[in-house]
Amino acid sequence: MIALLASSFLYLAWLDLHYPLIDTIFAIIALYLLLEAPKRVWFFSGFFIAIFWFWWISMSFRYYGFPWAIPIGILSIALVYGILFWIIAWFAQKIQEKSSIHALWIKSILLLSFSYLHPFGFDWFKPELMFVQSFIGIEKWHFAIVLIALILFIHQKKIFYLVLLLFAYQPSNTIIDTKALPTTTLVTTYISINDKWNPALLSSQIALVKEKLQQSIEEKKELIIFPESVLPLYLNKEADLIDFFTQKSHLISIVIGALYNDKGIPRNSSYIFDKGTLKIANKVILVPFGENNPLPDWLGEIVNAIFYDGAIDYQASSTISDYSINNKNYRNAICYEACSEELYKNRPKEMIVISNNGWFTPSIQPTQQKLLLLYYSRKYKTKIYHSSNMSASYLIYQNE
C-alpha cells in the first residue's frame, strides 16, 4: 500500500491525469504509513517503490541481446532499494535503543537525505518528487515541514499538528508547453532503436533531418533542436554534413545530437551550428551501464566482454558546457544528465535537453523524465527546451 501510494503520482501523470489534491493526499498518507512502519515493512516498501519507479531501466536489455535478464535487472534494483530502506529503519531503531531520540526523527532525517544517495551513480530517486505536481513545494524545507507535521501527529494523535502542512503549501506554477513555439522548432522523431542503428536506414534519417530543417527555415524559425543521436554517426568525420549544417546556420541556428570521435574515444555530443560557426558540447554525466560501467575496471571489462561484445565505454566531458545562440545562453544537457542535480550548478536560466527515449519505450520512463525536469525547473527556475526521440518534445517554464 505504501509503495502504491508513493507511486500514484507517476502513473496518474503517465495516464495524463493531473489532480494536485490527490497527489498531495496520497503522498502524505504514504509518508505517514512509512514513518510508523517496522523494518520489514520498510524493506518491502523500498523494494516495491523501486519496482514501480524503475522497472523500465532493464527494458534496454532487449537491444543488447539478453531480454532474459530483464527480470534479473528489475529484481536487483528492487533489492538495492529494499536494503537501503531497511537500513534506515534498522539504524533509527538502534539509535532509539541507545539514546532518548525517537526513531521517527531518525527515519525522517535519513528520508530527507535519501536523494543524496546515488546507487551506482543513479540519482533519479527523490522522495520529494511525489509532490512535484501537488499543492506542496518540492524544496527540502517543504519536505521537512511535512515530515515534522506527521511526526507530531503520530506522537500526539492530534489532527491540529497537520495544520503545519500549510507552511509547506506551494502549488506548482510550472507550464509544460507541447504546442508549436513562435521562434523555435523542437523536433520529435519516432525511430526505433533497431531502425536507428540500421546502416541501411541511415540515408533516410539524414533526409528526415534535412526535411525538418528546410521546413523550419520556410517557417522563419530562428532555432531548431533535434533529439539525441538523431544522426547515428560520428558527425565530426562527415565533412559534407558539417559543411551543409554550417551553411544552413546562416539561416537558422541548429542544435543536433550525434556521436563524436575524439581520437578514437567515443563521445555522446550536441553539435551547435550558429551563424557559420560550430561548437561541440560533450555529455558530462553518462548513463550507468548504458554508456559507462561504474564497476571497478577489472570487473567492468568482464561485464563489457560478456554483455556488450567487448565494446569500450563512452567517455564523459570533464566540464559542463554552456553556449550562446542569438545572444542567449543555454546549458547543454543530453538525456539522462538533465535529470541530475549536477547539471543545474549555478542555476542556468535556459537549458537545451536532447533525448533518445527509444531504449526504454514503451514505458513510464518519458513521464518520469518529464516530472524530474519539472522538478528541477521549479527548483532552479530553469527554462527547459526538450527535444526527444520516441516521446513527445516540450518546453517547461515558470509562469511568473
Catalytically annotated residues: 228, 283, 335
Q: How far apart, in whole angstroms, are the C-alpha atoms of residue 81 and residue 44?
A: 9
DSSP string computed for 112-161: HHGGG--GGG-----GGGGGTTSSB--SHHHHHHHHHHHHHHHHH--GGG
Q: How far apart, in whole angstroms, are the C-alpha atoms of residue 46 and residue 42?
A: 6
Bridge partners, residue 397, by sequence: 175
AA identity, residue 188: T
DSSP string computed for 245-294: HHHHTTTSEEEEEEEEEETTEEEEEEEEEETTEEEEEE-SSPPBTTTB--
CB 371 within 8 A of CB 13: yes
Burial 163-172, CB ≥16 within 10 A → b, else e: eebeebeeeb
Q: How far apart, in whole angstroms, are the C-alpha atoms of residue 223 and residue 214?
A: 12
3-state SS class at 240: helix
CB 37 within 8 A of CB 88: no
Residue 115: which of 89, 139, 151, 86 has the closest Cα?
Answer: 139
Determine the distance from the C-alpha atom of residue 284 to the mean position of all C-alpha atoms in its chain, rounded to a whole number: 14
Per-residue cell: 276: 557559420
Pairing of strands 253-262, 265-274: antiparallel
CB 396 within 8 A of CB 386: yes
Per-residue cell: 154: 503520530
Could you tell me the CA-to-CA distances from 171 to 129, 135, 202, 322, 329 in Å, in that order?
Answer: 13, 4, 46, 31, 29
